[in-house]
Amino acid sequence: MKTMTAEQFNEKYPVGTKVLYWPWVREGEDGIPSETRSEAWALGNGDPVVKVNGKSGGILLTHVEVLPQPPAEGVSTSVARARRERSIDPFDIVLRIEELEGRQAQTDEALCALRNRPVAASEGS
């Protein structure tokens, strides 16, 4: 993995991220599959580490390779990718909120209209 600070790792990867790790020297393709079980932090000497399932103590981030993550259940692939890449524009979020608030206002108006409508003769008999 490229050199990354603990803060950068935590911004990009939540606890539970699937990874391969190498406990000693990172050699070859034979990393051990696991998941992170903590946020990353910096040791006293500044080296960033993270805890993984199946290993006590922290593993250097240089000895961790993040595996491709499946999208969360019910989340479209593009939304999951945008969340991973942190590429969602705050302006887009504001527009989406305004759109949803507009739909809510339309729903409220329709409900009010239904509640205030007179009961038809066939319904009350």
pLDDT at position 11:
93
pLDDT at position 125:
47
pLDDT top residue among 60 and 2:
60
Instruction: Give 30-57 pLDDT, tens digit per residue.
Output: 788 999 999 999 999 999 999 999 898 9
- The CA–CA distances, whole Å, from 78 to 7, 8, 92, 97 equal 24, 22, 14, 18
Instruction: Give 81-115 pLDDT, tens digit per residue.
Output: 555 555 556 666 666 676 777 677 666 676 667 67
- The CA–CA distances, whole Å, from 48 to 13, 33, 61 equal 14, 19, 6
CATH number of 6-66: 2.30.30
Indicate if the alpha-carbon torsion angle 30, 34, 39, 41 is positive or negative. negative
What residue type is assigned to position 30 of the chain?
D
3-state secondary structure of 38: coil
pLDDT at position 73:
61
Cα 124 to Cα 103: distance, rounded to the nearest angstrom = 31
pLDDT at position 3:
78
pLDDT at position 9:
94
pLDDT top residue among 76 and 45:
45
Residue 124 DSSP class: H
Cα 58 to Cα 26: distance, rounded to the nearest angstrom = 15
Structural domain spans, the chain: 6-66, 88-117
| Rama region for 94: left / alpha / beta (φ>0; ψ in -120 to 50; rest) | alpha
